[in-house]
Amino acid sequence: MLSPELNVDLHCHSTISDGVLAPADVAARAKANGVDAWALTDHDEVRGIPQARAAALDLGMRFVTGLEISVTWAGRTIHIVGLNIDETNEELLNGLAMTRSGRQLRAEDMAADLAKAGIPNVYKGALKYVGNPDLISRSHFARYLVEIGVCEDVHSVFKHYLTEGKPGFVPHRWATLAEAVGWIRRSGGVAVVAHPGRYDLSPVAFDAFFREFKAYGGTAIEVVTGSHTHDQFYEYTKIANRYGFAGSRGSDFHSPDDKSVDLGRLPPLAKSLTPVWADWF
Ligand code: AMP
Ligand code: MN
Ligand code: MN
Ligand code: MN
């Protein structure tokens, strides 16, 4: 068992999904920021893992295989991080290919809706930011909208565009919760609810969600994440302990230009929690 001071970051993105740095450059930045154990968790993709692993091992960081799967639950989008998976598992790969497959048409529909709102050519503009043609994301649209001065930063784009009820939003059906947790578990991994504080669910709906997640074999939630406030670190520590979930820690880093938490720059998990990595390092 390693010291609780170990700097663990198990959530971030590269150009293989909607991050702006290549996997090896994310590894280098994590190392420079003092990260000891690291996972790259691209959206619905595992194709960055070989480069990420090689870079991490070169740099002397412990490496955990990971990804972040988009799920639709009760009409909401929820993200499930998978850690310590076998990224060559066929069922997982097929499931991810299916999950990615609607992104292209959705992007075209998003651009059409933005054009109706008076912002033309966003599809072409967003493509400049896309590193993986199978993974066009709202983040790429957001970066282009910042580039052309529609909003000051990515965060404010999501306040005014691309979200429910706003221009550029197109509803989408992702994987089911049972599928995502099943793919992760059957590829040998641990399923983790990503940034639970970001979902707009009532306490009753949250309880139903956590029970269902647990029934499918989910065992952890992110507690210390770049998406949570300090109050939410405490809130989700209590929730993890109440449901018997392990806790995870991750920045959700996407870009050095975002005004968000950088790799490894997070408080430690509370001592009362079982870290999701307890058996790994
Ligand atoms: P998509 O998977 O195409 O729906 O895109 C979702 C991505 O958009 C997330 O993974 C985040 O990177 C980004 N995103 C969503 N909401 C926000 C927000 N409020 N602020 C900043 N980025 C966001
Ligand atoms: Mn993202
Ligand atoms: Mn997420
Ligand atoms: Mn993420």
CATH number of domain containing 95 = 3.20.20.140
Give me ligand 1 centre to Cα 139, in Å.
6
* 30/89 same-domain check: yes
User: Residue 1: its pLDDT value, please?
Assistant: 45
* 86/185 same-domain check: yes
Kindly state whether residue 273 falls inside one of the protein's structural domains: no
* 26/38 same-domain check: yes
Predicted confidence (pLDDT) per residue in 4-16, tens digit = 589 999 999 999 9
**pLDDT at residue 2 tops 80:** no
Kindly state whether residue 221 falls inside one of the protein's structural domains: yes
What torsion, rounded to 10 degrees, do the Cα atoms 273, 276, 279, 281 define? -100
Measured CA to CA in angstroms, residue 65 lies from 103, 115, 145, 186, 230 at distances of 24, 39, 32, 14, 28
Dihedral sign, Cα of residue 205, residue 211, residue 215, residue 221: positive
Kindly state whether residue 1 falls inside one of the protein's structural domains: no
User: Residue 5: its pLDDT value, please?
Assistant: 83
* 77/149 same-domain check: no
* 12/147 same-domain check: no
With contact defined as beta carbons under 8 Å apart, do 123 and 108 qualify?
yes
* 14/138 same-domain check: no
Kindly state whether residue 209 falls inside one of the protein's structural domains: yes
**Closest among 191, 183, 193, 24 to 88, alpha carbons compared:** 183
Overall average pLDDT of the 200-208 stretch: 97
Kindly state whether residue 151 falls inside one of the protein's structural domains: yes
**Closest among 56, 47, 46, 50 to 26, alpha carbons compared:** 56
Pick the last residue of a domain from 130, 160, 190: 160
Nearest residue CA, atom 14 of ligand 1?
Answer: 139
Nearest residue CA, atom 3 of ligand 1?
Answer: 137
Kindly state whether residue 143 falls inside one of the protein's structural domains: yes
Query: What's the CATH code of the domain at 137?
Result: 1.10.150.650
**Closest among 176, 181, 13, 184 to 92, alpha carbons compared:** 184
Give me ligand 2 centre to Cα 90, in Å.
24
Predicted confidence (pLDDT) per residue in 26-83, tens digit = 999 999 999 999 999 999 999 999 999 999 999 999 999 999 999 999 999 999 999 9
**pLDDT at residue 3 tops 80:** no
Rounded distance between C-alpha atoms, residue 254 and residue 139, angstroms? 9
User: Where is 232: in which H helix or E strand?
Assistant: helix 230-243
What torsion, rounded to 10 degrees, do the Cα atoms 192, 71, 265, 7 define? 30
Overall average pLDDT of the 169-196 stretch: 98
* 108/241 same-domain check: no
Query: Which residues does ligand 1 sit against, CB inside 6 Å?
Result: 18, 43, 70, 137-139, 154-155, 158, 254
Nearest residue CA, atom 2 of ligand 1?
Answer: 137
Overall average pLDDT of the 188-199 stretch: 98
Pick the last residue of a domain from 112, 136, 160: 160
User: Residue 56: its pLDDT value, please?
Assistant: 98
Provide the domain count of the chain: 2
Rounded distance between C-alpha atoms, residue 12 and residue 43, angstroms? 9
* 113/141 same-domain check: yes
* 182/89 same-domain check: yes
Kindly state whether residue 115 falls inside one of the protein's structural domains: yes
With contact defined as beta carbons under 8 Å apart, do 247 and 273 qualify?
yes
User: Residue 4: its pLDDT value, please?
Assistant: 55
**pLDDT at residue 164 tops 50:** yes
Predicted confidence (pLDDT) per residue in 96-136, tens digit = 999 999 999 999 999 999 999 999 999 999 999 999 999 99
Kindly state whether residue 262 falls inside one of the protein's structural domains: no
- The percent of residues above 70 in pLDDT, for the chain, comes to 99
**Closest among 45, 10, 50 to 136, alpha carbons compared:** 45
* 191/142 same-domain check: no
- The percent of residues above 90 in pLDDT, for the chain, comes to 98
* 89/12 same-domain check: yes
**pLDDT at residue 253 tops 80:** yes
Predicted confidence (pLDDT) per residue in 254-270, tens digit = 999 998 999 999 999 99
Structure tokens at 132: 């993986």
Residue 131: which domain range? 103-160
Across the chain, mean pLDDT equals: 97
* 192/215 same-domain check: yes
Nearest residue CA, atom 22 of ligand 1?
Answer: 155
